[in-house]
């Protein structure tokens, strides 16, 4: 009884799954066919550029008036500080990619059409990365350019010491944080829960959670705190000092992202 | 052909499907009946690999669903018409499904025309009525022109024209030699559509017989009467008259 099947119309067309490429094609159709994709992806470079310009402008005013007595002008951090807010729409995009499957119930037809859990998940993460990376690159370019406009006479170039490293770091940060968000959403299977965890983490982080003396020993290893170190071009002192270097910081963030994506894989495969 | 063997699924202490065995054969419409909570939807989810069985197995054309390559070309399923992203159009819902199984885009247009949604193909699903969502779900099931069809309550929300259309379609597909399993609570509709019945209650098999024999055996005059008799002891949710009436 097994194996021979009952040949009926349509059977002849069935071929073995070629896998990842087909899942990727399906996921890209999903991404381009909902409005939230467009507003989240357009908002990111716009917010980055606007904040870059404003922060640059305020730094310029402060430098020009000679009030910057501490002498701690950090062009890298001034330029890229705006990504702490600019990352939010990108994180929302990355969360909705997975969360909307569960809230709408489309996870059921998704898994019926793509029954191999690992392939389905890998395709989804790959689609996220392929969409996030160019937006992240564009946003990094936008914030850099806008911040230099704001800094005016105090502007720097990529040849200024540490600036190329900071720019690469900003791109990596803006790419790794959303992928972390995709992993978290796949693990929690809910947009609301995921944003409830991620937004406070990323907002409190930007408020300097890593600099509070008592909890710093732990919080300095949080994904955003570790990934942001590379944005600084001047040496860090006091509470801002870290026991790890800029690239190690990026590696710590990458480790968090990997862990979240693996957790998402475990949860997706269990179904 | 769908083979269900000793299929069991428990959720905590609840036994949703209890050592269920039956075979759905090609060439006829098989009605899948049972009271609310009997385990029909869980059984269908198990067939599609959306739940893992606690014991036993379900095979479609000799293979577990999860091991089927390009499954939409082998099995068409409608589980719940609401499983669509409300912000996505009907066309794009079908397009991502098609891409995932290398089904040509032309087929998307064809199934949209087949279910009568071509005029609203580009409208967002949030503007759809239940009947329109149901038509979209049926279109998705037919996308891969599959030899096996699993439809859970496909008649829900359809207008009279839609009900007649679906009935004719399902009978025609069975006549072509396809395997058609369709669940419904509408006994009068089922009496007109199905040739064979699989009836379950509390996760167990109550009957696996031809339509005429099922009615005859219960000494009933209609499918509804026969169904109510056979499921009398297996009905979990029963409405009670309001006190004071």
- List phi, psi (to 5°) of B36: -55, 135
Contact A222, A209 (CB under 8 A): yes
Cα(B18)–Cα(B31) distance, integer angstroms: 19
Residue A202, judged by CB atoms within 10 A of its CB (0-12, 13-18, 19+), counts as: buried
Interface list for A 167-226 with B (CB within 8 A): none
Kindly list the distances between the CA atom of residue B34 and the CA atoms of A207, B182, B187, B230, in Å, as whole numbers in the listed order.
58, 12, 11, 10
- Distance (Å) from the C-alpha of residue B124 to the closest C-alpha of chain A? 9
B100 vs A: CB within 8 A = yes
Percentage helix, strand, coil for chain A under 3-state DSSP, each rounded to 5: 75, 0, 25
Closest chain B residue to A17, measured at CA: B69
B107 vs A: CB within 8 A = no
Q: What tokens were used for A130? A: 């392929």
Cα(A201)–Cα(B183) distance, integer angstroms: 47
Cα(B116)–Cα(A184) distance, integer angstroms: 40
Domains and CATH numbers, chain B: 2-61+147-230 (3.40.50.300), 85-146 (no CATH)
- A112 with B50: Cβ contact below 8 A: yes
- A4 with B102: Cβ contact below 8 A: no
- Distance (Å) from the C-alpha of residue B215 to the closest C-alpha of chain A? 29
Contact B97, A26 (CB under 8 A): yes
B122 vs A: CB within 8 A = no
Residue-by-residue DSSP string for B183-228:
E-S-HHHHHHH-SEEEEEETTEEEEEEEHHHHHHHTT-SSHHHHHH
- A34 with B85: Cβ contact below 8 A: yes
Chain A partners within 8 Å of B3 (Cβ): 1
B208 vs A: CB within 8 A = no
pLDDT tens digit sequence for B225-237 = 999 999 988 777 7
Contact A100, A106 (CB under 8 A): yes
Give percent of chain A with pLDDT exceeding 70.
88
Give percent of chain A with pLDDT exceeding 90.
75
Chain B partners within 8 Å of A271 (Cβ): 50, 52
pLDDT tens digit sequence for A157-208 = 999 989 999 999 999 999 999 999 999 999 999 999 999 999 988 877 656 6
Q: What tokens were used for B32? A: 């899948």
Q: What is the pLDDT of residue B218?
A: 86
Q: What is the pLDDT of residue A205?
A: 64
- A23 with B66: Cβ contact below 8 A: no
Q: What is the mean pLDDT of residues B111-139?
A: 96
- B50 with A9: Cβ contact below 8 A: no
Cα(A59)–Cα(A16) distance, integer angstroms: 60
Residue-by-residue DSSP string for B136-161:
HHHHHHHTT--SEEEEESTTTT--HH
Q: What is the mean pLDDT of residues B28-45?
A: 95
Q: Residue A73: which pLDDT band, with cuts at 50, 70 and 90?
A: confident
Q: What tokens were used for A243? A: 């026991």
């Amino acid at each position: 009884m097994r194996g021979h099947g009952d040949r009926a119309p349509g059977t002849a067309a069935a071929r073995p799954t070629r896998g990842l490429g087909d899942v990727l094609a399906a996921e890209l159709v999903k991404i381009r066919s909902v409005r939230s994709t467009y507003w989240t992806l357009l908002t990111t470079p716009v917010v980055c550029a606007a904040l870059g310009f404003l922060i640059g402008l305020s730094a310029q005013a402060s430098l020009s008036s000679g009030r910057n007595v501490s002498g701690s002008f950090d062009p890298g951090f001034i330029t890229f500080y705006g990504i702490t807010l600019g990352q939010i729409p990108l994180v929302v995009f990355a969360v909705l990619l997975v969360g909307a499957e569960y809230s709408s119930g489309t996870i059921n037809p998704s898994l019926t059409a793509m029954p191999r859990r690992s392939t389905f998940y890998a395709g989804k993460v790959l689609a996220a990365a392929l969409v996030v990376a160019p937006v992240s690159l564009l946003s990094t370019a936008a914030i850099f350019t806008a911040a230099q406009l704001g800094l005016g006479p105090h502007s720097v170039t990529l040849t200024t010491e540490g600036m190329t490293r900071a720019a690469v770091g900003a791109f990596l940060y803006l790419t790794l944080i959303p992928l972390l968000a995709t992993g978290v959403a796949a693990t929690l299977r809910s947009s609301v829960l995921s944003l409830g965890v991620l937004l406070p983490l990323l907002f409190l982080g930007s408020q300097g959670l890593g600099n509070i003396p008592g909890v710093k020993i732990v919080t300095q290893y949080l994904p955003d705190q570790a990934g942001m170190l590379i944005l600084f071009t001047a040496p860090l002192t006091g509470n801002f000092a870290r026991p790890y270097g800029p690239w190690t910081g990026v590696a710590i963030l990458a480790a968090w992202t990997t862990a979240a994506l693996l957790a998402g894989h475990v949860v997706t495969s269990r179904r | 052909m769908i083979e269900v063997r000793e299929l069991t699924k428990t959720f905590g202490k609840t036994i949703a499907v209890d050592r269920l065995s039956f075979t759905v054969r090609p060439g006829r419409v098989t009605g899948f009946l049972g009271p609310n909570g009997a385990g029909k939807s869980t059984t269908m989810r198990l067939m599609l690999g959306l739940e893992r069985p606690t014991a036993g197995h379900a095979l479609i054309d000799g293979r577990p669903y999860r091991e089927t390559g390009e499954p939409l070309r082998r099995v068409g399923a409608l589980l719940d018409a609401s499983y669509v992203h409300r912000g996505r159009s009907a066309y794009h819902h079908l397009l991502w499904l098609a891409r995932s199984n290398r089904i040509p885009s032309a087929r998307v247009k064809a199934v949209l025309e087949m279910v009568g949604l071509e005029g609203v193909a580009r409208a967002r699903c949030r503007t759809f009525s239940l009947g329109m969502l149901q038509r979209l779900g049926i279109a998705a099931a037919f996308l891969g022109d599959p030899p096996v069809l699993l439809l859970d309550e496909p008649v829900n929300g359809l207008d009279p024209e839609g009900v007649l259309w679906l009935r004719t379609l399902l009978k025609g597909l069975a006549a072509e030699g396809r395997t058609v399993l369709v669940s419904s609570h509408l006994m009068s509709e089922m009496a007109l559509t199905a040739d064979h019945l699989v009836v379950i209650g509390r996760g167990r098999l109550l009957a696996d017989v031809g339509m005429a024999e099922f009615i005859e055996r219960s000494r009933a005059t209609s499918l509804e009467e026969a169904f109510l008799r056979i499921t009398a002891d297996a009905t979990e949710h029963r409405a009670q008259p309001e006190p004071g009436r």
